[in-house]
């Protein structure tokens, strides 16, 4: 496959009818921001147009071309491949879909290094991650903090027991009653564990 890199006028680039790649608006905005900020972008992949003399057909880079046009660029860096119709279709079906995946720990290490130079909001403008994903990846290589014995003693504990349907009905009725009482006292947001403890306390105090 012959290959050369050229600066080609955007007005001479034609989209391919078989291009099926659609970019999410949020990702498109980040790509736009990246190109606008530093002018760097991956060269577009094209071939010489089979029917329009002097023009080129896009194989990979339809979104980059659109962004460059809207940013006012007149030319784009392009890799020109000497391929026929069948091979072009195969490339359209594969180039936008084949790719590796980031190893989470390595991605986290990269993001951690970036975070030393850029604020989180700035990273979110350019990187594909959403805020929650970014924060998770930034934390992935941090050492796990061990709980001290005193902290362990304060952790919630699970209680498991089995009751009949009739017993469950009695318990649920009692819990609802206690909740209403506490809400009447201005205490809201009690969990079932809180209500059970209050009920047990009433029994212990013979209320």
pLDDT tens sequence across 122-181: 888 888 888 888 888 888 888 766 656 666 566 677 778 788 988 888 899 998 998 888
Give me Rg for the CA atoms of the chain: 31
Residue where a domain stops, chosen among 62, 77, 94: 94
Residue 200 sits in the same domain as residue 148: no
The pTM of this model reads 0.58
Are the CB atoms for 1 and 83 separated by under 8 Å?
yes
**Shared-domain flag, residues 166 and 196:** yes
Answer whether residue 98 shows pLDDT above 80.
Answer: no
Same domain, 83 and 118: no
Copy the structure tokens of residue 86. Answer: 């069948």
Question: CATH number, domain at 45?
Answer: 3.90.1530.10
Q: Which domain holds residue 175?
A: 156-204
* Two structure tokens written together for 131: 């805020």
198 and 180 housed in the same domain: yes
CA 18, 21, 22 angle in degrees (round to 5)? 125
How many structural domains compose the chain? 3
pLDDT in tens, 37-53: 889 999 999 999 999 99
């Amino acid at each position: 496959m012959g290959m050369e890199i050229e600066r080609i006028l955007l007005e001479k680039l034609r989209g391919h009818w078989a291009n099926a790649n659609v970019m999410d608006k949020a990702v498109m905005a980040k790509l736009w921001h990246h190109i606008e900020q530093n002018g760097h972008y991956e060269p577009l992949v094209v071939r010489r147009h089979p029917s329009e003399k002097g023009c080129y057909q896009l194989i990979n880079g339809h979104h980059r071309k659109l962004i460059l046009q809207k940013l006012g660029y007149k030319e784009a860096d392009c890799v020109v491949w000497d391929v026929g119709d069948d091979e072009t279709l195969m490339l359209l079906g594969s180039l936008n879909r084949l790719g590796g995946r980031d190893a989470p720990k390595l991605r986290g290490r990269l993001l951690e290094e970036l975070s030393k130079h850029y604020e989180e909001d700035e990273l979110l403008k350019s990187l594909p991650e959403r805020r929650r994903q970014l924060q998770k990846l930034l934390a992935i290589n941090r050492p796990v903090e061990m709980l001290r014995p005193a902290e362990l003693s304060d952790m919630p504990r699970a209680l498991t027991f089995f009751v009949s349907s009739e017993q469950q009905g009695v318990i649920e009725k009692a819990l609802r009653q206690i909740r209403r009482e506490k809400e009447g006292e201005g205490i809201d947001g009690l969990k079932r564990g809180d209500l059970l403890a209050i009920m047990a306390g009433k029994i212990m105090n013979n209320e």
